[in-house]
Amino acid sequence: MAQRLELMWIGKDKSEKLEPRILIENPSLSHSNNTSLFNNGSENNYLIHGDNLLALKALEKDFQGSINCIYIDPPYNTGSAFEHYDDNLEHSIWLSLMRERLIILCKLLADDGMIFVQIDDNEQAYLTVLMDEIFGRDKRINTICVKMSEASGVKMAHTDKRLPKLKEYILVYCKNNVPEIDVEKVRLTEWNPEYKHVLVNISNQDLDFIKQCISKESVSDDEVNKCNDILKEAKIVSISEYGKANKIQIDNEWKFKNAYRIIQAVGSSSVFALLKRTERLNQDIMAAKSASGLLYLMKTDVDLESKQPRVQVIFADSNLEQNPGDLWTDIKTTGGVGQEGKVLFANSKKPEKLIKRIITMCTKPGDIVLDSFLGSGTTCAVAHKLNRRWIGIELGDHAYTLCKKRLDLVIDGNDSTGVTNEVGWTGGGSYKFYELAPTLINEDAFGEPIISKDYKPDMLAAAVALHEGFKYNPDDKVFWKQSKSNENAYLFVTTATVTVPMVKEIESQMADDEFLVIACKSFEKVADSVSNKIKIKKIPQMLLGKCEFGKDNYDLNIVHPPVYEDEEEE
What's the CATH code of the domain at 508? 3.40.1350
Residue 33 sits in a domain of what CATH number? 3.40.50.150
Q: Does 260 lie in the same domain as 161?
A: no
Q: Does 176 lie in the same domain as 33?
A: yes
Residue 482: inside a domain: yes
Last-in-domain residue among 320, 343, 363: 320
Residue 6: inside a domain: no
Specify the higher pLDDT residue, 336 or 61.
61
Given this model, what pLDDT does residue 329 score? 86
Q: Has residue 526 got a pLDDT over 50?
A: yes
Mean pLDDT of the chain: 85
Q: Does 282 lie in the same domain as 335?
A: no
Specify the higher pLDDT residue, 256 or 220.
220
Distance CA 114, CA 141 (A): 9
Q: Does 104 lie in the same domain as 38?
A: yes
Last-in-domain residue among 289, 320, 351: 320
Q: Does 411 lie in the same domain as 333?
A: yes
pLDDT in tens, 535-567: 999 999 999 988 888 888 775 433 333 343 333
- Domain tally, the chain: 3
Given this model, what pLDDT does residue 266 score? 77
Q: Has residue 487 got a pLDDT over 90?
A: no
Q: Does 431 lie in the same domain as 369?
A: yes
Given this model, what pLDDT does residue 98 score? 92
Q: Has residue 1 got a pLDDT over 50?
A: yes
Residue 408: inside a domain: yes
Given this model, what pLDDT does residue 10 score? 83
Q: Domain of 347? A: 23-185+324-437+561-567
Angle at 557 between CA 553 and CA 563, to 5 degrees: 155
pLDDT in tens, 279-333: 544 457 888 888 778 888 877 776 666 666 667 788 888 777 778 889 998 887 7
Q: Has residue 196 got a pLDDT over 70?
A: yes
pLDDT in tens, 4-45: 778 888 888 888 888 999 999 999 999 998 755 455 555 689
Q: Has residue 456 got a pLDDT over 80?
A: yes
3-state secondary structure of 517: strand
Q: Has residue 400 got a pLDDT over 80?
A: yes
Q: Has residue 503 got a pLDDT over 60?
A: yes
Q: Has residue 206 got a pLDDT over 70?
A: yes
Q: Has residue 119 got a pLDDT over 90?
A: yes
Which whole number is the average pLDDT over 381-386? Answer: 96
* Confidence bin at 164 (pLDDT 50/70/90): confident
- Given a contact cutoff of 8 angstroms between Cβ atoms, the answer to whether 93 and 555 are in contact is yes
Q: Does 102 lie in the same domain as 177?
A: yes
Residue 166: inside a domain: yes
Specify the higher pLDDT residue, 275 or 203.
203
Q: Does 285 lie in the same domain as 360?
A: no
- DSSP single-letter state for residue 324: -
Q: Does 177 lie in the same domain as 44?
A: yes
Residue 552: inside a domain: no
Last-in-domain residue among 286, 320, 354: 320
* Confidence bin at 78 (pLDDT 50/70/90): low
Residue 234: inside a domain: yes
Helix pair angle (121-135, 91-108), 10° resolution: 40
Q: Does 357 lie in the same domain as 334?
A: yes
Q: Has residue 533 got a pLDDT over 80?
A: yes
Three-state secondary structure of 45-111: CEEEECCHHHHHHHHHHHHCCCEEEEEECCCCCCCCECCCCECCCCHHHHHHHHHHHHHHHHHHEEE
Q: What is the pTM assigned to this prediction?
A: 0.78
Q: Does 282 lie in the same domain as 368?
A: no
Nearest 5°: phi and psi at 476?
-70, -25
Q: Does 315 lie in the same domain as 206?
A: yes
- Given a contact cutoff of 8 angstroms between Cβ atoms, the answer to whether 507 and 498 are in contact is no
Specify the higher pLDDT residue, 200 or 157.
200
Residue 56: inside a domain: yes
Distance CA 403, CA 382 (A): 12
3-state secondary structure of 451: strand
Residue 554: inside a domain: no
Given this model, what pLDDT does residue 555 score? 55
Given this model, what pLDDT does residue 107 score? 97
Give me the percent of the chain exceeding a pLDDT of 90: 55
